[in-house]
Structure formats: structure tokens, C-alpha cells
């Protein structure tokens, strides 16, 4: 897996030199008085249907509906390498005020285990908008209906195949923590898109997955999957009968940061414009409804406060990964 990510990173690195000149030109002549006045290039670092994709497209819809961005917004999924392809593309747009992207757990974990050429410190922070917890599910055909039954099954099987989005990502960390504290072994299978992840669980190729409620709660409500544990501190709003990890005695279960970033060295006026604009977005009834419907935890931090949050989160996740033996 590390070799595949490294190969993808080489492709991204090659693209940097081809796009750097264009990125510089796109920012020339821009001032606080005339910004924004061009089409926006919005990168989603994962495939369609996932939490990152859903959040990004919700933001874009609200920007358009409320006429907050005066020009067109071009949205493109640039998935691959646990987010490395998409954020590598944004990294190559250095100084460009017309490129933007949303963050997830991979934004801070992928650079910990692969030579991406960038870290969260390189980008221009706009803001943290919410955090996202995960739902641990099995296929309904497994006939496992409780966490205790799952643990017994996993121990009896020896090693269970579990899946999530990204390689060394929050999904992997959650699986590793739960397995270690419960006393069973896992074979973690990473995916770049939500669709194939869910298909693999329903087909029997995987024993269990963790995923964000926005992506998987519908399958539980349709009784195609069974939710066994929710990693948030409070019960899941849409599925309140599923126990939380803390209620079952599990500790240090991380959440995923849902935020917004600009390329490295983006003009200060662009950062300020986006902060002020997103402050208008997060108070709309539609955004509040999105947060509630998708069982996100509202956590709003702008600019430097978002950077401080990322620094603290990276430190904690790196500690957990080293404890799990995923990092040397």
C-alpha cells in the first residue's frame, strides 16, 4: 500500500511544475477590492458519496443559493492516495486565491505515513466547521446484533477483515483502537470511495466497517446493516439505541475534522474574505439542518484557531499511531 501511495505522490509532484505558473498568474492583479471575480476551482480529495464530498457540495450549494460567491464554482473529485492526490493538487496552486478544498482525517494522517511533500502547516486555513464521528457496522446477514457478539465473533475467527476510507486514517485508527482494547485482531482494508466500501461489507468480503453516519445510517435504517457502536460522546441522533464507545468502556476514540483550506501562500485578503463568507454560511438554517441531519458535532474555529486545533489533533493522532505500531 505504501508503494502505491508513493507512486501516486510522484505523479502529483510532477504536476506541480506544470501548474505553478498558472497558479501564480491566476492570483495576479487581485486585490481586496476586486476579489473574487473569477471561477473558483473547488477540489474534493475523495470520490463521490463520501462525507468529504457531501460536505463540500453542501457548502457549494449554499454559496450559490445565497449568492455569496459571485462567479461560477467548478467542483472536481480528485481522489487517490488517501487524499494525497487532491490536496497535492491544491498544494500545487500556491498563491492562487481561486483554489480551495475541504479537509478530513486524511488531511492530517496521510502526511504522517507517506512523503506527500506537504503537511497541514503548508496550507492557508479558513476554518474548522464541524467534527465527524463514526458508526461501526456489520452486515445484517451476519446475524450479529450487539457489540459483545461482535467481539466474541472476532476472537473466535482469529483475524477479521475490516474496512474504512483511507490507509493510515482516522478510520484505521478507530479500528485499531477498538481491536486492541477489546482483544481481537484485524486485517484493515482501505478504500478511496464509500460505494465500494459498503458493497464489500454487504457482499461478505469484509466483516465490519466504520463510516460516517451521513454515509451509512441509511443502510442501518433500511436493515441492510447493523450498527454496533458509535464513536461520539453522545448517542447518535438518528439512531439513539446504538451504544457509544465510551458507554462500552472504550477511550481515546478520535473524530474527523471537517474544515476548509486555501492553497499555500494564498493572499491574506482571500483568507479574510472566505472567513467572513463562511461565517455567513454556518448560521444559515440549511447548514444547521445539514449538521443535525448528518450527526456532526458543531465546532467552529477560524484561521489561527483552526491551525492550533490541527496541531493538537496531529500530535494526538501521531501518538496513537505510534502506540498501535503503525508508525515507527
Rounded Cα–Cα distance for residues 98 and 69 (Å): 11
pLDDT digits (tens, 9 = 90+) for 124-172: 999 999 988 999 999 999 999 999 999 999 999 999 999 998 777 889 9
Rounded Cα–Cα distance for residues 281 and 293 (Å): 16
Nearest CA to 173 out of 65, 165, 227, 234 is that of 165
- Dmax of the chain from CA atoms? 66
Residue 6 burial (C-beta neighbours within 10 Å; 0-12, 13-18, 19+): middle
Rounded Cα–Cα distance for residues 5 and 3 (Å): 5
How many C-beta neighbours within 10 Å does residue 319 have? 12
C-alpha cell at 2: 505504501
DSSP β-bridge partners for residue 259: 128
C-alpha cell at 114: 507517506
Rounded Cα–Cα distance for residues 110 and 48 (Å): 20
Pairwise pLDDT comparison (278 vs 193), residue with the higher score = 278
How are beta strands 73-77 and 225-230 bridged, if at all? Answer: unpaired
DSSP β-bridge partners for residue 127: 260, 302
How are beta strands 256-262 and 99-102 bridged, if at all? Answer: antiparallel
Question: In which element (H, E) is residue 190 found?
Answer: strand 185-191
20-47: average pLDDT: 80
Placement of cell 443502510 in the chain: 219
pLDDT-derived band at 28 (thresholds 50, 70, 90) equals low
At 283, give phi and psi (nearest 5°).
-100, 0
pLDDT-derived band at 192 (thresholds 50, 70, 90) equals confident
Q: What's the sign of the alpha-carbon dihedral 11, 167, 109, 60? A: positive
pLDDT for residue 233: 86
Report the range out of 108-117, 172-181, 214-223, 273-282 with the highest average pLDDT.
Answer: 273-282
What domains, with CATH codes, occur in the chain?
Answer: 2-132+256-323 (3.40.190.150), 135-248 (3.40.190.10)
pLDDT digits (tens, 9 = 90+) for 56-100: 999 999 999 999 999 999 999 999 888 899 999 999 999 999 999
Whether 89 and 43 have beta carbons less than 8 Å apart is answered as yes
**What does pTM read for this prediction?**
0.77
DSSP β-bridge partners for residue 185: 159
What 3-state DSSP class applies to 196?
helix
Question: In which element (H, E) is residue 163 found?
Answer: strand 159-165
Placement of cell 455569496 in the chain: 68
C-alpha cell at 27: 492570483
**Angle formed at CA 27 by CA 26 and CA 30, multiple of 5 degrees:** 120
Residue 12 has pLDDT above 90, yes or no: no
Amino acid at each position: 500500500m505504501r508503494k502505491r501511495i508513493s507512486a501516486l505522490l510522484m505523479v502529483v509532484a510532477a504536476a506541480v511544475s506544470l501548474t505553478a505558473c498558472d497558479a501564480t498568474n491566476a492570483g495576479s492583479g487581485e486585490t481586496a477590492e476586486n476579489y473574487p471575480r473569477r471561477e473558483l476551482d473547488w477540489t474534493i480529495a475523495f470520490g463521490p458519496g463520501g462525507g468529504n464530498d457531501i460536505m463540500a457540495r453542501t457548502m457549494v450549494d449554499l454559496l450559490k443559493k445565497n449568492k455569496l460567491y459571485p462567479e461560477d464554482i467548478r467542483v472536481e473529485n480528485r481522489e487517490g492516495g488517501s487524499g494525497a492526490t487532491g490536496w497535492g493538487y491544491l498544494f500545487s496552486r500556491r498563491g492562487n486565491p481561486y483554489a480551495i478544498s475541504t479537509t478530513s482525517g486524511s488531511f492530517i494522517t496521510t502526511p504522517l505515513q507517506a512523503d506527500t511533500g506537504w503537511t497541514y502547516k503548508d496550507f492557508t486555513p479558513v476554518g474548522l466547521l464541524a467534527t465527524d464521528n463514526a458508526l461501526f457496522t456489520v452486515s445484517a446477514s451476519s446475524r450479529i446484533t450487539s457489540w459483545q457478539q461482535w467481539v466474541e465473533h472476532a476472537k473466535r475467527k482469529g483475524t477479521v477483515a475490516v474496512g474504512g476510507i483511507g490507509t493510515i486514517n482516522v478510520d484505521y485508527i478507530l479500528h485499531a483502537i477498538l481491536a486492541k482494547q477489546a482483544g481481537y485482531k484485524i486485517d484493515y482494508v482501505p478504500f478511496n470511495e464509500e460505494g465500494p466500501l459498503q458493497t464489500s461489507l454487504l457482499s461478505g468480503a469484509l466483516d465490519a466497517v466504520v463510516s460516517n453516519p451521513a454515509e451509512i445510517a441509511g443502510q442501518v435504517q433500511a436493515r441492510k446493516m447493523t450498527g454496533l457502536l458509535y464513536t461520539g460522546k453522545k448517542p447518535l441522533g438518528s439512531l439513539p439505541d446504538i451504544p457509544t464507545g465510551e458507554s462500552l468502556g472504550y477511550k481515546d476514540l478520535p473524530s474527523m475534522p471537517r474544515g476548509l483550506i486555501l492553497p499555500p501562500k494564498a493572499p491574506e485578503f482571500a483568507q479574510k474574505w472566505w472567513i467572513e463568507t463562511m461565517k455567513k454560511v454556518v448560521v444559515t438554517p440549511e447548514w444547521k439542518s445539514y449538521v443535525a441531519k448528518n450527526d456532526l458535532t458543531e465546532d467552529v474555529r477560524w484561521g489561527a484557531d483552526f491551525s492550533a486545533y490541527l496541531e493538537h489533533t496531529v500530535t494526538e493522532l501521531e501518538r496513537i499511531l505510534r502506540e498501535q505500531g503503525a508508525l515507527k
